[in-house]
Amino acid sequence: MEVFKQSLMDTYHAEGVEFDWPCNVRIDEDMVVIEYLDDQEPIIYRGSSSGPGHYRLQKDGGRGDATLHRFPGGKILEGFWIEDVQQGMWRIRLEN
């Protein structure tokens, strides 16, 4: 399993764009876990592989679904998310 403790997430949604949101990422061929803080509240999305480099995720303890995609050996995860009534895209730059 690869662990990226100093990754940075960009989110794009109707209210605007947020850049360089710190997050932790754990990823392997079968699963991915994204962890970050939002207003000091821990948010966790976790999911499983639906094909090489393709992941479907759900938010722990809440209403949230997402996708992430990664090229083999790539340092970028990209995808779509929907949480409650908001939706948008996200990009995560994987950094140790």
pLDDT tens profile 38-85: 999 999 999 999 999 999 999 999 899 999 999 998 999 999 999 989
In a domain, 19, yes or no: yes
Full residue range of the structural domain in which residue 50 is found: 2-91
Rounded to whole angstroms, the Cα distance separating 3 from 6 reads: 9
Q: How many CA atoms lie within 13 A of 64 on its CB side?
A: 19
49 in a structural domain: yes
Do the domain assignments include residue 35?
Answer: yes
C-alpha to C-alpha distance for 85 and 31, rounded to whole angstroms: 26
Kindly state whether residue 96 falls inside one of the protein's structural domains.
Answer: no
Over residues 7-11, the mean pLDDT reads: 98
The C-alpha angle 37, 32, 49, rounded to 5 degrees, equals: 145
- The total number of structural domains in the chain stands at 1
Residue 23 belongs to a domain: yes
Q: Identify any residues that bridge with 48 across adjacent strands, giving them in sequence order.
A: 31, 56
Decide if 26 contacts 2 (C-beta within 8 A).
Answer: yes
Q: How confident is the model at residue 86 (pLDDT cuts 50, 70, 90)?
A: very high
